[in-house]
Amino acid sequence: MASPLPPLQTFQLNDFRLQCGATLPEATLAYRTHGALNADRSNAIVYPTSFAVTDADVAWLIGPGRILDPERYFIVALNMFGAGVSTSPSDMARDPGTGRFPSFSHVDNVTAQHALMTERFGVDRLALAYGWSMGAQQALHWAALFPHRVERVFAVCGAARTSVHNWVFLDGVRAALTADPAWDGARFTAHPERGLRAMGRIYAGWAFSQSFYRERAFERLGHADVESYLAAVWEPNFLRRDPHNLLSLIDTWQRCDISANDVFGGDLDRALGAITARVVHMAADTDLYFRARDIRAEAGRIPNGEYAELRTVWGHRAGNPDGSPGDEAAIRDAVERLLAR
């Protein structure tokens, strides 16, 4: 039986100015801590969430013998804005002028996370920023925007800038969701069950590789056929989400670019070159979102960057390998090697 999760905690940010220009009178950053902070505050790890999950959904990789070890490190699992636990459209008022929700960026996410780590915990330098997918995007933002605060980065299946192809995929997902009859052009007037089911099925075809389905790997997960797999896993996963939160997260993902800020002015080479942390930039060779070739290229532009690759049929989900022990072991071993340096 899994151990109970630590309690969810919150950190309030007053008059929090977003990168889009809006100011939130009060923003909430929700998080959990695993393990204990040591005396010199040198063992802190930040672990931001990925698309359409909460910290509880991905807490499985925290534990003795897992990828992140709370017996040695103080791990802060951070819920990014828009995902339904920290400040999100599901608990916000719309802008009275535009009728829309403010947009969140990863600059907003890591700015809030930085305030939490420095003000509440007194951590001046992270031992590691770890993340998968959108969590990897945030980890790389940490390293570029706060280079003196980050000793190491482990970014798995995520890139510093969203590629055009990845943007197009996300726009297709957005189109499927907003094709639901409940969408009136600005908001959902009811829970968009049809759109969410469609979104889940589209996602299923991209999150795993062609080889995953060709080898019928879903059978090893206990599903008799592909239809039962989609109906039992992918549709429910999206049906339980708030659709406005999903649109917010899609927007954040599409606009991800560690150089799209006042510090770097859109110069990606300068942003990657500003990273002083030791970085392992890990791809999955079958990832359809963040292609290995793109991640290899980014790693080569980071001064202390190292490219690593998972050889797997699990595609993008190899970076969150609950159910793939081989990928979990490869990530765990690579993290241990990085932390030993």
> Which residues are annotated as catalytic?
133, 287, 316
CA gap 71, 15 in Å, rounded: 36
77: which 2 tokens?
């699992």
Sheet hosting strand 23-34, strand order edge to edge: 9-17, 23-34, 74-78, 44-48, 128-132, 152-156, 278-284, 305-310
Residue 119: phi and psi, rounded to 5, are -85, -40
How many angstroms from the chain centroid is the CA of residue 27?
19
Closest CA to 50 of 8, 79, 91: 79
Backbone angles phi, psi at 97, to 5 degrees: -80, -40
Cβ-Cβ contacts under 8 Å for 50 (sequence gap 6 or more): 58, 131, 132, 133, 134, 135, 136, 158, 320
| Nearest by Cα to 60 from 331, 341, 337, 334 | 331
